[in-house]
Amino acid sequence: MSNNFYAKGITAENLRAFLVLWAQLPPGIEEAMQIIIEGNDLFFDEDANSFSWCHLYELPIHQHIDFNFPGLLPEEQVLEWRKQVAESSGKIAALPNVAEQINNYFNARENPTKEDIKALRPFLSTICVYFYSIQYSLFCILYHGCFLNELIERIRIGDDQALFDAIRVDPTVIGCQSVIERISKARMLKDSDFLKELKKTESGVSAKLKQANYQKMRLILKVLSEAGATRLFNKELSQLFVEEINLYTANSAGGGVEKSLRKFADTYMKQNATT
**Do 44 and 127 fall into the same domain?**
yes
Q: Find the range with the poorest average confidence among 130-139, 170-179, 225-234.
A: 225-234
**Do 86 and 207 fall into the same domain?**
yes
Amino acid at position 243, single letter = E
Q: Does residue 213 or residue 60 have the better pLDDT?
A: 213
10 Å Cβ neighbour count for 175? 14
Integer distance in angstroms from the first to the last C-alpha of the chain?
23
- pLDDT greater than 60 at residue 272: no
**Do 17 and 138 fall into the same domain?**
yes
The pLDDT of residue 167 is 97
How many folded domains does the chain comprise? Answer: 2
The pLDDT of residue 247 is 92
Distances (CA, A) of 251 to 162, 242, 254: 33, 10, 8
**Do 23 and 125 fall into the same domain?**
yes
Decide if 218 contacts 145 (C-beta within 8 A): yes
Amino acid at position 46, single letter = E
The pLDDT of residue 21 is 84
pLDDT in tens, 1-54: 456 788 777 888 889 888 988 888 778 777 777 777 776 776 666 655 567 889
**Do 255 and 126 fall into the same domain?**
no
Rg (CA), the chain: 21
Q: Find the range with the poorest average confidence among 32-36, 184-188, 192-196.
A: 32-36
pLDDT in tens, 207-236: 989 999 999 999 999 888 888 776 688 888
Which residue segment(s) compose the domain that 71 sits in?
A: 1-211+221-229
- Alpha helix (H) residue ranges in the chain: 12-23, 25-38, 40-43, 62-65, 75-86, 95-108, 114-144, 148-156, 160-169, 177-188, 192-200, 212-226, 234-238, 256-268
**Does 127 reside within a domain?**
yes
Q: Nearest CA to 205 among 252, 139, 108?
A: 139
The pLDDT of residue 23 is 85
**Do 120 and 139 fall into the same domain?**
yes
Decide if 236 contacts 273 (C-beta within 8 A): no
**Do 99 and 225 fall into the same domain?**
yes
The pLDDT of residue 148 is 92
- pLDDT greater than 90 at residue 62: no
The pLDDT of residue 85 is 84
The mean pLDDT of the chain is 83
Q: Does residue 250 or residue 62 have the better pLDDT?
A: 62
